Amino acid sequence: MHLRFDGKVALVTGGSRGIGRAAAATLAASGAKVMIVARKEDSLRATAAALEGDIAWHATNAADAEGAEAAVEATLARFGRLDVLVNNVSTNPYFGSLMEIDVERARRTVEVNQWAMVMWSQLAWRLWMREHGGRIVNVSSVGAFVPEPNIGWYNGTKAAIIQLTRQMAQELAPGVTVNCVAPGIIKTDMSRALWEGHEDALSATVPAKRLGRPDDVSAAIAFLASDQAAYVTGQTLTIDGGITLGDGLVSGELA
Its domain, for residue 128, covers: 9-240
Is 154 catalytic? The answer is: yes
CA 145, distance to chain mean position in Å, is: 17
The secondary structure element, H or E, covering residue 228 is none
Q: Which backbone phi and psi does 19 adopt, to 5 degrees?
A: -65, -40
* Within a domain: 249: no
Contact 80, 35 (CB under 8 A): no
The active-site residue out of 154, 156, 202, 214 is: 154
With respect to residue 47, please indicate whether it lies within any of the assigned structural domains.
yes
Query: Nearest-CA neighbor of 206 among 222, 195, 214?
Result: 195
CATH number of 42's domain: 3.40.50.720
User: Domain total for the chain?
Assistant: 1
In a domain, 3, yes or no: no
Stretch 80-92: mean pLDDT: 97
Alpha helices in 18-57 (DSSP H): 18-29, 41-50
Long-range contacts of 91-100 (CB under 8 A, 24+ apart): 92/151, 92/154, 92/190, 92/253, 94/153, 94/154, 95/150, 95/151, 96/150, 97/150, 97/152, 98/152, 98/153
Do the domain assignments include residue 213?
Answer: yes
Q: Which of 87-96, 187-196, 215-224 is the least confident region?
A: 187-196
15 found inside a domain: yes
Q: Is residue 225 part of a domain?
A: yes
254 touches 184 (CB < 8 A): yes
Residue 190 neighbours by CB under 8 Å, 6+ apart: 18, 90, 92, 253, 255
How many angstroms separate the CA atoms of 188 and 26, rounded?
Answer: 16
**What mean pLDDT comes out for the span 235-248?**
86
In-domain check, residue 62:
yes
Backbone phi, then psi, for 212, in 5-degree steps? -75, 155
Q: pLDDT tens digit string along 127-172?
A: 999 999 999 999 999 999 989 899 999 999 999 999 999 999 999 9
Label residues 4-25 b or e (16+ Cβ within 10 Å = b). Answer: ebeebbbbbbbbbbbbbbbbbb
Q: Is it the case that residue 81 has pLDDT exceeding 60? A: yes
Average pLDDT of the segment spanning 209-227: 95
Above 90 in pLDDT, residue 198?
A: no
Please count the helices (runs of H) and the strands (runs of E) in the chain.
10, 7
2 occurs within a structural domain: no
